[in-house]
């Protein structure tokens, strides 16, 4: 039970921790106040409890596909917000102090939604053991270990990004945010498949023998890039398309800035 709790919480925490590390590094690069971060933690935590308390009703809505559709909507919204953040980061590099309130607002909303979605899963998992007191200590210890590993990896990413020069922090942050955002679109696609709104297909390949999804490296790669050991052709196409779309937007913005 201890190891299971570690892996369950680590899976939920890691994605948020990596997203936070990149956005906090960009906050430092732009010399912004981190007040948005504390507000997002508070709002996201409260929203996670409310969402977790009502998860059964949400799941039963829309012919039993409510949870999949709500989570897919959250992931797509975060993708759009991260596309806005990366675009404005690039514009801000050429025009100092360019639309900083919009960047902060988009980061706040993206982190709030990410904490709400992942936090609700952790909340439901932990509260399901309240009626099983003998198991509770190992579950709580495992959850703390999983959260500690996740946020430690996030902290390493943060200090790595902060150690770079501003130019390379910007480039690396834009690349990481693009990959993180594409991973979220991939997860949204999988949720649509679970809800039978997209067709299920045979896997294009199986890399589970090389890297298991439930291993710590597999969880890390899942958090960064939405790693899937047995992706279908549709999932690969959507993932590649979402990266291509963001790169086209960023390339267009960079080209326009270079001409000004």
pLDDT in tens, 26-46: 888 888 788 888 999 999 999
Which range among 46-50, 137-141, 193-197, 218-222 shows the weakest confidence by mean pLDDT?
218-222
Cα separation, 52 vs 120, whole angstroms:
4
Span 237-245, average pLDDT: 91
Share of the chain above pLDDT 70, in %: 96
- The pLDDT value recorded for residue 94 is 67
pLDDT higher than threshold 70 for residue 96: no
Q: How confident is the model at residue 97 (pLDDT cuts 50, 70, 90)?
A: low
State the average pLDDT for the chain. 85
- Candidate ranges 9-13, 127-131, 190-194, 253-257; pick with highest mean pLDDT: 190-194
**Is the pLDDT assigned to residue 109 strictly greater than 90?**
yes
- Which pLDDT score, from 0 to 100, does residue 260 have? 65
**Angle, to 10 degrees, between the axis of helix 2-29 and the axis of helix 136-162?**
30
In this prediction the pTM is 0.87
Q: Is the separation of the CB atoms in 139 and 1 below 8 Å?
A: yes
According to the model, what pLDDT value does residue 11 have? 77
State the CB neighbour count (10 A cutoff) for residue 258. Answer: 8
78 confidence band (pLDDT: 50, 70, 90): very high
pLDDT recorded at residue 227: 78
CA distances, 225 to each of 13, 121, 169 (Å): 15, 20, 19
Whole-angstrom distance, CA of residue 50 vs CA of residue 70:
14
Local confidence band at 98 (pLDDT 50, 70, 90 cut-offs): low
Could you give the CA distance from residue 198 to residue 212 in angstroms, rounded to a whole number?
A: 25
- Assigned token pair, 87: 């675009």
pLDDT digits (tens, 9 = 90+) for 189-206: 989 998 888 887 888 888
């Amino acid at each position: 039970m201890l190891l299971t709790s570690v892996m369950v919480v680590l899976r939920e925490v890691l994605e948020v921790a990596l997203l936070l590390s990149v956005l906090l590094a960009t906050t430092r690069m732009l010399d912004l106040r981190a007040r948005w971060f504390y507000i997002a933690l508070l709002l996201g935590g409260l929203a996670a409890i409310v969402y977790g308390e009502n998860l059964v009703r949400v799941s039963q809505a829309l012919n039993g596909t409510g949870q999949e559709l709500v989570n897919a909507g959250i992931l797509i919204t975060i993708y759009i917000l991260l596309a806005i953040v990366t675009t404005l980061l690039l514009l801000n590099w050429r025009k100092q102090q360019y639309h900083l309130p919009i960047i902060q607002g988009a980061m706040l909303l993206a982190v709030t939604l990410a904490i709400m979605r992942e936090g609700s899963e952790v909340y439901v998992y932990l509260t399901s053991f309240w009626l099983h007191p003998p198991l509770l200590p190992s579950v709580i210890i495992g959850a703390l270990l999983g959260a500690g590993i996740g946020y430690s990896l996030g902290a390493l990413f943060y200090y790595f990004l902060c150690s770079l020069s501003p130019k390379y922090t910007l480039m690396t942050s834009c690349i990481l945010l693009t990959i993180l955002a594409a991973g979220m679109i991939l997860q949204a696609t999988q949720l649509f498949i679970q809800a039978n709104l997209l067709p299920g297909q045979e896997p294009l390949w199986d890399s589970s023998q090389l890297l298991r999804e439930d291993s710590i490296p597999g969880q890390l790669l899942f958090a960064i890039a939405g790693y899937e050991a047995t992706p279908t052709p549709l999932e690969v196409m959507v993932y590649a398309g979402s990266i291509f779309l963001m790169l086209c937007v960023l390339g267009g913005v960079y080209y326009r800035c270079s001409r000004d």
